[in-house]
Amino acid sequence: MVTFVVNRTLLRDPRRFLRRCRLAADDRGWKPWFVPTSEAEDGLALTRRAVAAGASLVFAAGGDGTVRACAEALAGSDVPLAIVPLGTANLTARALGVPARADRAVDAGFDGRDRRIDLALLDGTGLDGTGPDRTGMDITSRSGTERSATAFAAMAGIGLDAAVVEAAGEQLKRRLGWVAYGVAGVTRLSLPPRDFTVRLDDAEPLRRRARCVVVANAGLLPGGFTLLPEARLDDGLLDVGILAPSGTWGWVRVASRVLARGRHQDRSLERFQARRVQVSADVELPRQVDGEIVAPGRTLSVSVCPGVLLVRQPETGQMLLNGLVPMRIPLSLACGTYDRTLALARGDIRPEGIDLTYLALPVEETFFRMTRHQEFDAAEMSLSSYLISLDQGAPFVAIPAFVSRAFRHNGIYVSPASGITTPAGLTGRVVGLAEYQLTANVWIRGILAERHGLPVAAVRYRTGGLHEPGRVAKLAHDPPPGVDIEPIPPGATLADMLAAGQIDALYTPRVPRTFGPSGVRRLFADPRGEEERYFAATGIFPVMHVVVLRREVYEQRPWLAQSLYKAFEQARREAAARLAETAAGASLLPWAYAEAERTQNVMGPDFWTYGLAGNAETLRTFIRYSFEQGLIRRQPSPTELFAAETREAYVI
C-alpha cells in the first residue's frame, strides 16, 4: 500500500492531482490511500496511522512543514518517504533533486532509488505551536540511539530569519511565491542585532552580536540560493550559519557570497559544522523550524541523527529527463562575458556535473576579490598573478582556457610633452603602471627589451590608479633589484598625470580616458602593423588570462578541472564558428566579416586556441619574462601550470 499525505490547501485542483496519483499507482500495481491533513490530524499523526495500517511507501505532498511531519513519523523505520513539493520553499525536495512539477515528482517517488539521510533533532522544550504531539518523540537512529526531540529535515533558525518567515505570511507567499521572503526581508532589515552564545559540540562557546543563527541539515534558501554550501543531507553533520552584517556594505557582502556560493567568510557571515549545537540569545526572539513559526524563545538546541530517514530520490536517468543533473556540484565562477564565454554565461552550455553560478564582473574586480579573498570557487585570473601565486603557497590550480589574449604594442601611450617617438626614447623616462606585475605590462616590458633593445631597468616606474586614485597591488611581491618603482602621489591618477606631462609614458591594457583630445597618443603610430609584424616573426599571440580553481576545491574533486575546461573549449568553438556568420552579424561592426578574414589570413584559421598544444612557446616566453623581471623565483615548465587532468584527452 502507498499512502499520500496531502496538504490540500496547496493544490489548485485537488481532484486532478489525486486522479494523477491514482493512475500512477495503478500503473505500478500499488494500492493508493489518500489522507488529507487537517487541524485535527496533521501529517505526523496521519503518517503514523498509515505505517500502522501497513503502508510500505509514504508520499508527503505539501510544503516543508508537511515533509517535516512525515519525516518525523518515519524516522528510524524502513518505510521510504517520497516528496511532492507543493510549498513555497521546498528546501528538502530541492536538496534531493526532486522535480518541481507535481506529476514528475510522483513518478520519481515511485521509480526512484532509496537513500538514507540525516535528520536534525531539536529539543522540543518551549516549541508550543508546532502542532500536537510534536515533543517527546522517541526517534531511533540506525545506530540504535534514542532521542526525545522534534525532527526537522532542512533548517531551523532564531532571530532575523524567523522574523522574515513570519513576515512573509501565507497570503503573500501564495501571491508571490518564494519572492515573498525577499519582500519580507526588506521590511525586517532594520531589526537590531542581538547577543548570541553558540556552542559547537564540546568546544568553547562562541559569543557573537548577530542578526540570526541558523542550524541546517540542508543549506539551501528559498529560490534555490545556497547559504551553507558545505551542507549535505547524509554527512552526519549540522551546518551552522551566523549572520552578522553591519550596515549596507555588510549585507552586500553576505548577498554576494550567497549568490556566488562562495566559502570565504568573515564576521558578516560565519559558517561552522558540528554534531551538536546549542544557541542562546539575550532576549526572546522569533524562531522557525523548516519554514514554520514556533513559539518565540531564547534557545535552540539541535543534534544530528545520522541516517535515520529513508527517502526516495529520483533515478539518474529520470533526473536527466527532468532537466536536472544528479548530484551536480555547486560551483561559482567569476569571469568576463566575452564572445568565447557567452554560451557559458547564458547557461546554454552546462559543464558536466556542475551547477554553475556565473558572475560576470569587471576583470579588475574579479582579480582583486579572487587573489585577496578567494571569494569564488573558480575565476578568470591574470597569467602574471597566477604565476606569482605559485611562489606564494600555490592557492590556485589553472586550466588552459585562455579567455583573454591580446597584443600589447597598442598599450604604450606617451605624453604630448614627452617628444617620444620610438622605444629608445623611453630610456631614462618616467613610465606609469597600474601595477608592476600586470600581465600586459610584463609582456610590454619583455617585448621592448627583447625586440627593441630597451632594458627593463632603463626606465623609472610609477604605480597607481589609472582613473581613480588609491590603487594597490593585488599580490604583494618584492621589487626586483635595480628597478626604480615608486607610487604616484596620493589623490593623483595615471591618466591625468600623463596628460599633464607629469609622467612621460604609460603602459596599460585599458585605454586612458585622456587619450586623443588631450594630445596623449600611442607610441607606435601603426600599432596593428607592429603587432602583425611581431606575430609573423615570433608566432606569439600573447596570453593574458587563464581560469583557475581554488586548490581546495580542485583537490576535493579533481574532475572539476576537466569538466570546466571542456565547457570553456565548447564555448570557444561556438564563438569561432560565429565569426564567419554574415546572415545576421553578431557584432555592431559592419565589416566584422572582413576583419575576421584579414585576421585569419595573418594568423591562420584557428588563431585563438586553448590547451598546451600550440601554446607552449607563448607560455614559455611569458614565464621567462616574469623570471627576468624579478616576479618569480624559478621558471616552471608550461605543463606545471595546469591541472594534470587537462593536459591530455582520451581518444576513441
Every domain of the chain and the residues it spans:
2-321, 329-399+543-646, 409-525
For all residues of the chain together, what is the average pLDDT? Answer: 86
Q: How far apart are CA 24 and CA 30, in angstroms?
A: 9
Q: Is 60 exceeded by the pLDDT of residue 581?
A: yes
Rounded to 5 degrees, what angle do the CA atoms 158, 70, 81 make? 120
**374-388: string of b/e by CB count within 10 Å (b at 16+)?**
bbbbbbbbbbbbbbb
Give the sign of the dihedral formed by CA 162, CA 166, CA 168, CA 173: positive
* Cβ–Cβ under 8 Å, residues 375 and 264: yes
Mean pLDDT, residues 604-608: 93
Place 39 in a pLDDT band, splitting at 50, 70 and 90: confident
The pLDDT of residue 180 is 54
- When pLDDT is averaged across residues 263-273 and rounded to a whole number, the result is 74
In sequence order, what are the residues at sequence separation of 6 or more whose Cβ sits closer than 8 angstroms to the Cβ of residue 170? none
Query: How sure is the predictor about 29, in pLDDT bands with cuts at 50, 70 and 90?
Result: very high
Query: What's the mean pLDDT in 535-558?
Result: 95
Q: What is the full DSSP assignment across 115-179?
A: EEEEEEEE--TT-TTS-TT-SS-EEE-TT--EEESEEESSEEEEEHHHHHHHHHHHHHHHHHTTH
Task: Spell out the residues 6+ positions from residue 403 whose beta carbon is closer than 8 angstroms to its own.
Answer: 335, 336, 338, 340, 341, 380, 545, 546, 547, 568
Q: How far is the C-alpha of 568 from the C-alpha of 34, rounded, in Å?
A: 49
CA proximity to 300, closest of 277, 328, 273? 277
Higher pLDDT, 225 or 21: 21
pLDDT bin (cut points 50, 70, 90) of residue 470 is confident
Question: Which residues is 194 bridged to in the sheet?
Answer: 210
In this predicted structure, which of 135-139, 227-231, 392-396 has the lowest mean pLDDT?
Answer: 135-139
**Per-residue model confidence as pLDDT tens digits over 488-543:** 999 999 999 999 999 999 999 999 999 988 899 999 999 999 999 999 999 999 99
Q: For residues 377 and 325, which has the higher predicted lDDT (pLDDT)?
A: 377
474 pLDDT exceeds 80? no
Cβ count within 10 A of residue 257: 24
pLDDT at 252 > cutoff 50 = yes
Rounded mean pLDDT, 151-179: 75
Q: Nearest CA to 459 among 483, 478, 494? A: 483
Residue for grid cell 517520497:
82
- Per-residue pLDDT at 125 exceeds 70: no
Nine-digit cell string for 193: 542585532
The answer to whether 227 touches 219, Cβ cutoff 8 Å, is yes
Does the structure show a pLDDT above 70 at 631? Answer: yes
In this prediction, residue 130 carries a pLDDT of: 41
% residues pLDDT > 90 (the chain): 61
Whole-angstrom distance, CA of residue 302 vs CA of residue 151? 9
Amino acid 227: pLDDT: 78
CATH topology for 2-321 is Tumour Suppressor Smad4 (2.60.200)
User: Mean pLDDT throughout 354-358?
Assistant: 90
* Grid cell digits, residue 286: 522569533
Q: Span 427-450, mean pLDDT? A: 97
Instruction: Say if CB 565 and CB 349 are below 8 A apart.
Output: no
Question: pLDDT at position 148, please?
Answer: 39
In whole angstroms, give the CA distance from residue 81 to residue 47. 10
For residue 480, with 0-12 CB atoms within 10 Å meaning exposed, 13-18 middle and 19 or more buried, which class applies?
middle
Q: Cβ distance 71 to 39 under 8 Å?
A: no
Average pLDDT of the segment spanning 154-164: 88
Section 104-122 average pLDDT = 91
**Strand-pair category, 354-359 with 378-382:** unpaired
Query: Which CATH code for domain 329-399+543-646?
Result: 3.40.190.10
**pLDDT classification of 332: cutoffs 50, 70, 90:** very high
Among positive and negative, which fits the CA dihedral 378, 99, 70, 313? negative
* Domain 409-525, classified CATH 3.30.70, yes or no: no
What pLDDT does 495 receive? 96
Provide the pLDDT for residue 135: 35
Q: Do domains 2-321 and 409-525 have the same CATH topology?
A: no
DSSP-assigned letters across all residues of 375-422: -SSEEEEEHHHHHHHHTTT--EEEEEEEEEE---GGGEEE-TTT---S
Confidence class for position 182, pLDDT limits 50, 70, 90: low
Rounded to whole angstroms, the Cα distance separating 493 from 502 reads: 10
How far apart are alpha carbons 604 and 602 in whole angstroms? 6
- Report whether pLDDT(140) > 50: no
* Beta carbons of 387 and 638 less than 8 angstroms apart: no
Contact (CB, 8 A) for 215 and 156: yes
Q: Which of 507, 476, 509, 514 is nearest to 371 (CA)?
A: 476
Q: How far is CA 202 from the centre of its chain?
A: 32
Amino acid found at 459? V
pLDDT in tens, 570-580: 999 989 888 86
Overall average pLDDT of the 27-32 stretch: 93
